[in-house]
Amino acid sequence: QVQLVESGGGLVQAGDSLRLSCAASGRTFSGYNMGWFRQAPGKEREFVAATSWSGGLRMYADSVKGRFTISRDNVKNTVYLQMNSLKPDDTAVYYCAASSDYRGLTSRNEAHYWGQGTQVTVSS
């Protein structure tokens, strides 16, 4: 019912900024909690940020808090991840996710829908 397509990744240097976008298909986007995850080479998928369906609740991993901002535009069916002050440790494939369970999304890496991912590479 929901298809997620990420974009905006690329190769940048430490200290640069990137804005990731996740475009959702379907007419039920506004009813889902949305999140961003990332997976670095040789590591497990890691929670990055999440927002409730209304945008009223937001949560960030400690590693990105203060640098990343998640937002959503329910009219455009798009969720964003603004990434500032990027570090080499941020290098990963970033995935967009949608879930009806906010707590599952933020604490258990659970989601009903996943995007294909977009590569973010930060050089030093």
d(CA 80, CA 82): 6
Q: Helix or strand or coil: residue 81?
A: strand
Length of the chain in residues, anyone?
A: 124
Residue 65 has pLDDT above 70, yes or no: yes
pLDDT computed for residue 30 by the predictor: 74
Q: Which two tokens stand for residue 116?
A: 């294909």
Residue 121 has pLDDT above 70, yes or no: yes
H or E segment to which residue 104 belongs? helix 102-107
Residue 10 has pLDDT above 70, yes or no: yes
Residue 120 has pLDDT above 80, yes or no: yes
Contact 115, 6 (CB under 8 A): yes
Tell me: the pLDDT tens digits for 22-60? 999 876 677 889 999 999 999 999 999 999 988 889 999
User: 19 pLDDT band (50/70/90 cuts)?
Assistant: very high
